[in-house]
Chain A
């Protein structure tokens, strides 16, 4: 009789779930892992810009002038700035992964140092590259 009532009430069973990211404190290593994937995905779409730029150069002066105009607008510059950071962040993150592939850098101090170096390096390099870019642009005029 007990068995029948249990079957009829259909109480949901609380089964253990494997831990997911929502239960952990956000750590910098976790955020950098996510950032690596997001920048990688963004670069995929950034390749469209690269394709547009190269095709415009191959097409002729008019098409190229259109690309140059767009890249000069505020939105164009923001996209380019984002692309620069995504590219540098992803390549530095890639180097970090290659270090990890050798089995090194997994300790609590080393991995924190690596992700901080990735973030600091990518931001610094992006700013330096843009300063150099503006200097080149200024010199060419």
Chain B
């Protein structure tokens, strides 16, 4: 253990768990990044699927959505976007801080 660690009031186990005052900082941080990276290809896939289904009747839509690749992509898309959003409601603002620093220098 580094000497600097002993000067903090947080216990080593608390540091390892990565839990600050919010109790979920590290988990939230990683959840946001992992879902954000996953969302990039998943959104592209979702857009392609929706465009491909435009104007088709229900039977054709069910058939296409029911094919394994499309179904898995749609499922992953829904899980990823809803999970990220549910978690984002508790996030703190990074860009607002950046914006303030930038705007105040003008």
Interface residues of A (CB under 8 A from B): 19, 21, 24-25, 27, 29-30, 32-33, 36-37, 40, 43-44, 47, 50, 54, 56-58, 60-61, 64-65, 87, 91, 94-95, 97-98, 100-101, 106, 108, 111, 129, 132-133, 136-137, 140-141
Is B102 on the interface with A (CB-CB < 8 A)? yes
Cβ-defined contact, A141 with B98, below 8 A? no
- Give per-residue flags for B64-93: 1 if the beta carbon is below 8 A from chain A beta carbons, else 0: 010000000010001001100100100001
Interface residues of B (CB under 8 A from A): 33, 36-37, 39-40, 43, 47, 51-52, 54-59, 61-62, 65, 74, 78, 81-82, 85, 88, 93-96, 98-100, 102-106
Contacts of A61 in B (CB 8 A): 57-59
Which residue among B33, B43, B102 has the maximum number of chain A CB atoms within 10 Å of its CB? B102
Contacts of A129 in B (CB 8 A): 47, 51
With A33-B93, A101-B33 already in contact, the answer to whether A140 and B106 are too (CB < 8 A) is no
Q: How far is the CA of A106 from the CA of B57 in the complex (A)?
A: 48
List 20 interface pairs A-B (beta carbons < 8 Å), by A numbering: A21-B100, A24-B104, A29-B98, A29-B99, A29-B102, A30-B100, A30-B103, A33-B95, A37-B93, A40-B88, A47-B78, A50-B78, A54-B74, A61-B58, A61-B59, A87-B47, A91-B40, A101-B33, A129-B51, A133-B54
